[in-house]
Amino acid sequence: MKVSLLIKTIGFYVVTMCVFLGSCTKGKTDYQAERGSVVEEQVEFKEVANIVSSGYTVRIEALNGALYRGYNDIRVRVENTQTNTPVEVSNVTFLPIKTVATGEKSSCPHQYNFSFKSADKYFSGYTVFTDESGTEGTWTLYINFTIGTQTFSVVKDVLVRQQTNRNLNMTMFTGKDDEQYVIALISPQKPGVAENKLVAGIYKLNRPLESSPINFSDQSQFSYSKVENYTLKLDPRMPEPSMGNHSSPNNKDLVQAADGLYHGVVNYTMTGNWTLNFILLGPDGKVIRGTEVPKDFTPGVEGLKSELHLDILF
């Protein structure tokens, strides 16, 4: 029995590593095709889905009423189904699970215990979906909520869409420390030609214990941590040949703030295609991932990119 559980656990981790390693391959950028794209800022939370169970309605909300690959702020409301009024809920947990065609399951960075916002009677958290729904797999939400002394469980399949706003891009990779990481851009949704406050989440997959079974009652098998006291060095450039690989002044590397997220400044001097070249440093200053890029002005030649980067367009 222990051997079977060990094989399942190792299989889960191997599948997760394959996802991370496979995501690093990117084709040549088609700058011409990207010109003219419109960035729409989403500011209103709308219902994504609802589940009716045991006399309660659980409503899941997100910006624009949709879930996207990348970082998503999510709200959960629990109401009495008959009266459509909020009920007193003491706790909400939220676990997103991806299932691939072979049946293997994995998760993504997420807040498991949601925070209660008393003024508006909802629970708030986040999820960083690492793939859109489709050939990469299907996404299911496992939500628990507690009323009094009783805990209820609901399950809902959801659609995760492709993120069309490149300013909310994300990447997955394996670091030199052999750990699996996710970097997801959170803000700005719609940057301007100015010095923009840049916010990103940086997460690391927690290795599951080899002796533990993979099941939905053990959230630790699917957990991620926000990395602590890292530094994300930033070198933004316009890699398009006509732009000559030029950068901009007054950029600031991303460092961790009290909210656990990483904050910096990116100065966009004009609209168009930009690449955020990164070097991720651990708490000891050692390089986890990323390479320096040439700083030469090279008109007519596409600029080189760091092995760790995100492409932006606005």
pTM of the model: 0.86
| pLDDT above 60: residue 51 | yes
Q: What is the pLDDT of residues 69-79, one digit of tens each?
A: 999 999 999 99
Cα angle, residue 134 at apex, residues 225 and 207 outer, rounded to 5°? 25
3-state class (DSSP) for residue 264: strand
Asked whether the beta carbons of 224 and 203 are under 8 A apart, the reply is yes
Q: What is the pLDDT of residues 19-29, one digit of tens each?
A: 454 444 344 55
| pLDDT above 50: residue 2 | no
Q: Provide the mean pLDDT of the chain.
A: 88
Q: Considering only CA atoms, which of 67, 283, 279 is closest in space to residue 183?
A: 279
| pLDDT above 90: residue 92 | yes
Q: Indicate the residue type of 119.
A: A
Give the C-alpha separation, 86 to 111, whole Å: 22
| pLDDT above 50: residue 129 | yes
State the pairing for strand pair 70-80/67-68.
unpaired
**21 phi/psi in degrees, rounded to 5:** -70, -40
Distances (CA, A) of 36 to 29, 195, 204, 291: 15, 22, 35, 30
Q: Give residue 10's pLDDT.
A: 41
The number of residues making up the chain comes to: 314
Per DSSP, helices labelled H in 200-259 are none
- What one-character DSSP code corresponds to residue 242? G
Q: Give residue 68's pLDDT.
A: 97
Binned at pLDDT 50, 70 and 90, residue 37 comes out as low
For the chain, residues classed under CATH 2.60.40 are 45-161
Q: What is the CATH number of domain 45-161?
A: 2.60.40
